[in-house]
Amino acid sequence: ERMRRQTEMWGCDIREMEAVKKIAKEGKKFRVVTGRGEYLASAVIIATGRERRRLSVPGEEEFKGRGVSYCATCDAPLYRGKRVLVVGGGNTAASEALCLSESAREVHLVHRRDDLRAEMAVKEKLKERGVIFHWSSVVKGIEGDEVVRRVVIQNLKSGEEKALEVDGVFIAVGEAPSSALAAELGVRLDEEGYVVVNRNQMTNVEGVFAAGDVTGGVMQIVTAAGEGATAAVNAYLYIRGGWYGEGAGSSQVRQ
């Protein structure tokens, strides 16, 4: 709240609940299209972060918020005494299953491989909590009526499919950078889809900067804040026709 007040004191207009649909370059300006209107900008800072990966199976979108979740910490209380299923095999999936096992009646964990990538101590804890493992298996579909009722899984070795009666599905199959807007603008991405920037947080598209998790790296709050400050200073100087730091004018980006 303090940062918000300081920002507004300097004349910043904060628009909330207004999703950006597209960013298009028009000469030396950028047209930003949202669900509520359009804006013309001299520079753009992309700080769209990362998002949870989807399974992209039938029923996932349909039952989002009605049995499909991506955060056990947020939604575990809703499934006290109920049956839940976790999808994934890393530390995040294991942590989700542990969290849910504290209150859920039954916890299933589905993983496409024969073992979890999670730490040994975590795996032992899952066994102690009675988590039911479904190895070498994938989710084929999520079914229900008003809410989730069952999940169809398939064993990758035998090809056998079976339905598990559950009340909730928690998807924990990793995260991906939210870089679609940047890609449409012609911003260079690395092989994992993260935005590539130079030392001043500028991309290969002059006037477009990026900061935070969307650029990869260690992905911590403190580094995101530092990158945001760097991007903001250089965006300001770019608009004013100057640059901050040696070699800052170069559009070459770091690998």
For residue 2, CA distances in Å to 5, 8, 220, 232 come to 5, 10, 21, 18
Q: Which of 12, 13, 74, 145 is catalytic?
A: 74
CATH number for 228: 3.50.50.60
* 61, part of any domain: no
**Do 152 and 183 share a domain, yes or no?**
no
* 23, part of any domain: yes
**Do 150 and 223 share a domain, yes or no?**
no
pLDDT, one tens digit per residue, over 97-156 is 999 999 999 999 999 999 998 888 999 999 999 999 999 999 999 999 999 999 999 999
Residue with tokens 């530092």: 226
Which residues lie below 8 Å from residue 65, measured CB to CB, with a gap of 6+? none
**Do 127 and 197 share a domain, yes or no?**
no
Among residues 65, 64, 75, the alpha carbon closest in space to that of 100 is found at 75
Domain containing 159: what range? 68-172
State the pLDDT at residue 118.
84
Please say whether the beta carbons of 218 and 161 come within 8 A: no
State the pLDDT at residue 242.
73
**The whole model's pTM is what?**
0.72
Q: Which of 75, 99, 167, 213 is catalytic?
A: 75
Residue with tokens 């012609």: 186
| Choice between 250 and 19, residue whose per-residue pLDDT is larger | 19
**Sign of torsion, CA 168 173 175 179?**
negative
Indicate the helix (H) or strand (E) that contains 209. Answer: strand 208-210
Judged by DSSP in three states, 77 sits in helix
* 255, part of any domain: no
Q: Say whether 12 is catalytic.
A: no
Cross-strand pairs, 168: 84
State the pLDDT at residue 218.
87
**Do 100 and 82 share a domain, yes or no?**
yes
* 57, part of any domain: no
User: What ranges in 61-119 are assigned the alpha helix state H?
Assistant: 72-75, 91-101
Cross-strand pairs, 84: 107, 168
Last residue of a domain, one of 172, 190, 205: 172
Please state the rounded mean pLDDT for residues 213-217: 94
Q: Say whether 75 is catalytic.
A: yes
The count of residues in the chain is 255
Q: Say whether 115 is catalytic.
A: no
Structural domains in the chain (count): 2
State the pLDDT at residue 249.
44
* 231, part of any domain: yes
Please state the rounded mean pLDDT for residues 246-250: 43
Among residues 228, 227, 231, the alpha carbon closest in space to that of 239 is found at 231
Whole-angstrom Cα distance, residue 229 to residue 136?
45
**Do 38 and 129 share a domain, yes or no?**
no
State the pLDDT at residue 244.
53
Whole-angstrom Cα distance, residue 76 to residue 67?
11
- Band (pLDDT 50/70/90 cuts) for residue 252 is very low
Share of the chain above pLDDT 90, in %: 85
Please state the rounded mean pLDDT for residues 15-26: 95
